[in-house]
Amino acid sequence: MAKKSMEPFLWTLFSAGGVLAALLIPIHLFLFGLALPLGWLPQPSYEHLFALLRHPVTQVYLFLLCTLALFHAAHRFRYTLYDGLQIKHLNEVINVLCYGGAIVGSVLTIYLLWQVP
Amino acid sequence: MVQVFPYAVGDAMSQTPIYTEYHPRWYRRRTSTYWWLRRPSYLVFILRELSSLFVAWFVVFTLLQIHALKEGPDGYQRFLDWSKSPLVLIGNSIALFFVVFHAFTWFQLAPQAMVVRLRGKRVGAAWIAGANYAAWALASVLVAWIVLRE
């Protein structure tokens, strides 16, 4: 169980991630998930996208977007299980899985961005 | 749990107490596990909460994309082909629906979370929500422009 004192911190991450997710994920998913694969828009070249990925501003942007979105999702999903399924006896397992997953995903994000040549 | 019930108060001590294996239950109504199906507003709530799964999926998708970009043009082409497969397209469509739903509910709630005062007067909810929608539109146009310009 996350300590009571952790709750405001986790909520701040949830809230910050919620704002970024609302502002940015729809356009990302629309572009890379639908519009570009389906050819609704001209496909940007590999060189252009790779140059973007190497840019420090993009790296900070992707780091913040991915990690905060993960902590947002972890917090919200934790409460979905808590309210929706009423499995309070599994609280500790749920916390470990939700926030643990977010931590693993964040480490993976840092590693991937760090490894960009 | 074992409870002891004395017979009658008067001669309680003289008689053998009755043991029962049932704990006396106080009245506490159980909420159904499917409580969120009872009302449309409950369903909206649970759908909004489930958007978290699709936010997480977006991060996985983006990490795969970053990984593919690092692998070079061939690796990225494989990612593009994969993202054209029907299952991924359907998954991303559902995910898009949920994250847009998340965005609307988030911005709709923003006026209740933010109290903005201008010249001593509280700025109306419609203005705050409107500013959030404007920021959303601006951010979307900016991202699209950066990705698509060459």
Global ipTM: 0.91
Inter-chain residue contact B58 with A29, CB threshold 8 Å: yes
Is B29 inside any structural domain? no
Q: Do B147 and A115 touch (CB under 8 A)?
A: no
Range of the domain at B76: 39-113
Strand partners, B5: B18
In a domain, B1, yes or no: no
The answer to whether residue B109 sits within a structural domain is: yes
Nearest Cβ partner for B69 among A50, A73, A85: A50
Average pLDDT (B62-88) is: 95
The enclosing domain of B106 has a CATH number of 1.20.1300.10
Q: How many CB atoms lie within 10 A of CB B59?
A: 25
Using 50, 70 and 90 to split pLDDT, how confident is the model at B135? very high
- CB spacing of B62 vs A108 below 8 angstroms: no
Is residue B6 domain-resident? Answer: no
Q: Domain tally for chain B?
A: 1
Decide yes or no: CATH 1.20.1300.10 for domain A10-114: yes
User: Mean pLDDT, to the nearest integer, of B3-24?
Assistant: 59
Q: For position A85, what pLDDT does the model report?
A: 73
Question: Can you give the pTM of this predicted structure?
Answer: 0.82
Judged against a pLDDT cut of 60, whether residue B6 lies above it is answered with: no
Whether B106 is covered by a domain: the verdict is yes
pLDDT at B66: 96
- DSSP per-residue codes, A3-32: -GGGHHHHHHHHHHHHHHHHHHHHHHIIII
Measured distance CA(A94)–CA(A77) in Å, rounded:
9
**CB contact (8 A) between residue B143 and residue A24:** yes
d(CA B130, CA B123): 11
Minimum distance, in Å, between the CA of residue B85 and any CA atom of chain A: 9
pLDDT band at residue B109 using 50, 70 and 90 as cut-offs:
confident
What is the 8-class DSSP label of residue A35? I
Query: Is residue B14 predicted with pLDDT exceeding 70?
Result: no
Q: What is the pLDDT of residue A117?
A: 77
pLDDT over 60 (residue A27): yes
Domain ranges of chain A: 10-114
Place of tokens 């991303």: B92
In the predicted structure, residue B100 carries a pLDDT above the cut 80: yes
**Which residue among A26, A84, A85 places its CB closest to the CB of B96?**
A26
For residue range A68-110, what is the model confidence (pLDDT) as tens digits?
999 999 999 998 888 777 677 778 888 899 999 999 999 999 9
Mean pLDDT, residues B17-37 taken together: 72
Nearest Cα neighbor of B46 from B33, B65, B27 is B33
Task: Give domain status of residue B51, yes or no.
Answer: yes
Chain A residue with minimum CA distance to B47: A80
